[in-house]
Amino acid sequence: MTPEQKTAVLSLIAEGSSARAACRDNGITWGRFNEAVQDDPEFAGQYARATKIRADGQLEEIHEIADAPLEDGQTTSSGVQIASTLDQRRLQIDTRKWSMARMNARKYGEKLALGGADDLPPVKAAIDVTKLSTDAMAEILAAMGNAAPETDTGRSDGD
Give the pLDDT confidence score for residue 145 in this predicted structure.
Answer: 78
Q: Count up the domains in the chain and report the number.
A: 2
Least confident residue range of 11-15, 23-27, 91-95:
91-95
**CATH code, domain carrying 104:** 1.10.10.60
Q: What is the pTM of this model?
A: 0.52
Query: Could you tell me if 103 and 131 lie in one domain?
Result: no
Mean pLDDT of 107-126: 65
Instruction: Give whole-number Cα distances, 154 to 70, 139, 159, in Å.
Output: 69, 17, 10
Query: Could you tell me if 35 and 80 lie in one domain?
Result: yes
What's the DSSP call for residue 97? Answer: H
Is the residue at 72 inside a domain? yes
Is the residue at 77 inside a domain? yes
Percentage of residues in the chain having pLDDT higher than 70: 71
> Which backbone phi and psi does 156 adopt, to 5 degrees?
-115, 175
- Bigger pLDDT: 128 or 122? 128
Domain that holds residue 147: 126-159
- Bigger pLDDT: 120 or 103? 103
How many helices and strands (H and E) does the chain possess? 7, 0
Model confidence over 61-105: pLDDT tens digits? Answer: 887 877 776 665 555 555 556 667 777 788 888 888 887 787 777
Query: Could you tell me if 38 and 78 lie in one domain?
Result: yes
Q: Is 106 helix (H, G, I), strand (E, B) or coil?
A: helix
Give the pLDDT confidence score for residue 138 in this predicted structure.
Answer: 83
Query: Could you tell me if 86 and 150 lie in one domain?
Result: no
- Angstrom distance (rounded) from CA 156 to CA 159: 6
Is the residue at 120 inside a domain? no
Model confidence over 42-70: pLDDT tens digits? Answer: 999 999 999 999 988 888 888 787 777 66
